[in-house]
Amino acid sequence: KTKANTKSTQAKSKALAKNSKKHKKDKRSRSRRRGSGLGYSYEPVAISHTPELIRSVMEHGHELLGHRYRSSGIAPWPLDCSGFVKYIFSLEGIKIPHSSAALSVYTSKLSDPKPGDLVFFRGSNRGSSRIGHVGMVVSNEAGDIKMIHSSSSKGIVIESITGSAYYSSRYMGAGRLPQLASH
């Protein structure tokens, strides 16, 4: 590594450590981490064969596993589904829209999502044609897509789309952020 890369990595590590301490101090953002239920987990997934930028974004997401949906004090905005995605990308200097519908328009559509890509879902009304939820892909093994997302009922979790009747019936597609096109 060059000295510049080393300094940049050290600065990111210090900032992440500082944010982690802030998370622990904020009583309003207590973790929901407890035993996993069927189809979702509060445990990080193994990250391999992933470009450094995407791996770093995924690690930011892993640090927030178990935090409550819309908890305050962690990010400059609430951690609803799109706020969570916006926050973990912002820690790498990537600015993106703050709504799931705007994110779906902002991304380039794709059929085989990879880690770092976004996945979009109908909201609570399964018959709706409007985007109402977003998550980030952490793995896609033989079509079994796992995403990290902020769920209103479980907080920030990793969940299999195919393993969830709720999300598989509402899946509307995937997209790649323009900032990640080269990755």
Q: What is the pLDDT of residue 26?
A: 40
User: In what order do the strands lie in the sheet containing 144-151?
Assistant: 40-41, 155-160, 144-151, 131-141, 118-122, 171-176, 108-110
Residue pair 182/114 in contact by the 8 Å Cβ criterion = no
Could you report the average pLDDT of every consecutive run of 10 residues in the chain (183 residues)?
48 49 40 49 72 95 92 81 96 95 97 96 85 96 94 93 92 96 81
pTM value is: 0.76
Predicted local distance difference test score (pLDDT) of residue 34: 44
pLDDT of residue 11: 52
